[in-house]
Structure 1
Amino acid sequence: MAKKSAPALRKLSVYLYIPNLVGYVRVLMNCFAFAICFSDKRLFSILYFLSFVCDGIDGWCARKFNQVSTFGAVLDMVTDRISTACLLVILSQVYSPGLIFLSLLALDISSHWLQMYSTFLLGKGSHKDVKDSTSWLFRAYYGNRKFMAYCCVACEVLYIILFLVADSKTESLMDILKSLSKQSTPLTLLTAVSLFGWAIKQIVNVIQLKTAADVCVLHDISKKQGS
C-alpha cells in the first residue's frame, strides 16, 4: 500500500509547488476579472495586470525554491495565451476592424504553440533556449529577461489602455489612436512606450513562427532521409 501511495504523493507534491500555486491563483483571478470586465473596467484592468505580474512572481519562486517543473511551464504559457486571447477577442468586439485583433490572436497562439512543439522536437529543456537562432532580435528577446519583460508588459498595457478608453462597441481603432496621439497627457506617453514594445513583440512572434515552422519541416526531411 505504501509503495502505491508513494508515486501519488510525489505527483501531488509537484502540483503543490509554490510557483504552481501562484499559477492557480492567476487562473482564478483571470476568471473573476473577465466575469466583471464590462461591469467594472477598472477592477478588471487591475486584476488582469496583477495576474500578469504574478507570471513573473511564479518564475522567481520556481528558481528561488528549486521548483521548476514542466507542468508549471506549460500552465504558465497556457494561462498567458488564454488570458491574452480573451482580451483580444473582447477588443475585436469593441473596435473596428475587429479582424486586426483576431489576427494578433492567431499570430500569438500559433507562434507560441509551434515554438513549444519545436522545442520538444529539438530535445531542449525550455522554449526560451534560442541561442542557436540566426536572428539577433530573437536571441535578444529570450536572452535578456528585462527586454522580454518590457515587451510583454508593453503589449498587455496597450491592450488594457485600448479597453479602458473605448466608450462603445463601435469604436474606430485608428480614431482612438489619433485621439490619444493628439493629447499631451501621461496616458499618451504610456501608450507610445507601450506601442513600441508591442511592435517589437509582434516582430518576434513572426520570427518565432517562421523559425519554429522551419524546425518542424527540417524534422520531417530528416525522418524521410533516415527511412
Structure 2
Amino acid sequence: MAPQSTQRALSVYLYIPNIIGYFRIIINCVAFALCYSHKTLFAILYFFSFFCDGLDGWFARKFNQVSTFGAVLDMVTDRVSTACLLAVLSQLYRPGLIFLLLLGLDITSHWFQMYSTFLSGKTSHKDVKDKNNWLLKAYYGHRPFMAFCCVASEVCLSTIKETPLLSLSFFVTLIGWAVKQVINVIQMKTAADSCVFYDTKRSK
C-alpha cells in the first residue's frame, strides 16, 4: 500500500499546473534578485510569472489536474510575490507605510478566504457561489474581470512614479487597483463571517 500511496503523491507533485507553479517560484526569485539593479528585466520576469499564473488554472482544468496542493501552491506563490513587490515599493517610494498596509490587507483577506474555504469543504477559494456580495461573485465568476483587476493593480503599483498622473492608462489601472482593494475588504469580511458561522454552528 505504501509504494502505491507514495506514487499517487508523487503524481500530484508532478501535475502540469504544479510544475508551472514551481517555475513561477524560480522566475520570481530571479526577478526579485534583480529588482534594484535591472528594473526593466525585473518587470519582464515579474509579469511573465503573472502571465503563467493564468496558465496553471487552464492546464488544471484541461487535464483534470485540479488539486488541493495546487490551489495552496498557487495562493502562496501569488501572495508571496505580491508581498515582495509591495515590500520593494515601500523602500522605493514614500510614504512606504501605504504599501505595507496594502500588503497586510492582501495577506489577511486571502488567508481568511482560503481558511474559510476549507472549513466549508470546498475545493477552491474561488468558489463563492453561496456568497451574497455581487462584486465578489463578479470577481471570481468572470475571469476577464478578475484578470483586469489583477493586471491593473500590478501595473498601477509598478508604474505609479513613471506614469504621468493625468494619463488615461494610469486612470484605467487606478480603477482596477481600487476595485481590487475593495474586493479584498469584502472578501476578508465575508470569509470572517463564514468562520464565525462555523464556530456558532459547531457550538450548538
Question: Counterparts of 2:132 and 2:59 in 1: how far apart (Å)?
Answer: 32
1:181 to 136, 159, 165: 165
Match of 2:107 in 1: 109
User: Within 5 Å, which residues of 2 pair with 1:85-124?
Assistant: 85-124=83-122
Measured after TM superposition, the shift of residue 111 of structure 1 is 0.4
Q: How many matched pairs?
A: 204
Measured after TM superposition, the shift of residue 219 of structure 1 is 1.7
Question: Counterparts of 2:60 and 2:77 in 1: how far apart (Å)?
Answer: 16
1:91-144 CA distance string (max 9 Å, x none): 111111111100100000000000011111111221111112221111111111
Match of 1:148 in 2: 146
Match of 1:162 in 2: 160
Match of 1:168 in 2: none
Identity %: 64
Which 4+ residue blocks in structure 1 deviate beyond 4 angstroms? none
Helix, strand or coil: the match of 2:160?
Answer: helix
Matched, 1:202 2:181: yes
TM-score, normalised via structure 2 length: 0.96
Structure 1 residues not aligned, in runs of 5+: 166-176, 183-187
Higher relative contact order by CA 8 Å / sep ≥ 6: 1 or 2? Answer: 1
Structure index of larger Rg: 1
Match of 2:73 in 1: 75
Match of 1:61 in 2: 59
User: Within 5 Å, which residues of 2 pair with 1:36-51?
Assistant: 36-51=34-49
Q: For the structure 1 residues 6 and 44, does the alpha-carbon distance in structure 2 shift closer, same or farther, using more than 3 Å as the test?
A: same
What letter corresponds to residue 174 of structure 2 in structure 1? L
Q: CA RMSD in A?
A: 1.3
Helix, strand or coil: the match of 1:130?
Answer: coil
Question: Counterparts of 2:198 and 2:15 in 1: how far apart (Å)?
Answer: 34
Question: Counterparts of 1:123 and 1:9 in 2: how far apart (Å)?
Answer: 25
What letter corresponds to residue 165 of structure 2 in structure 1? S
Measured after TM superposition, the shift of residue 4 of structure 1 is 3.0
TM-score, normalised via structure 1 length: 0.86
Helix, strand or coil: the match of 1:181?
Answer: coil
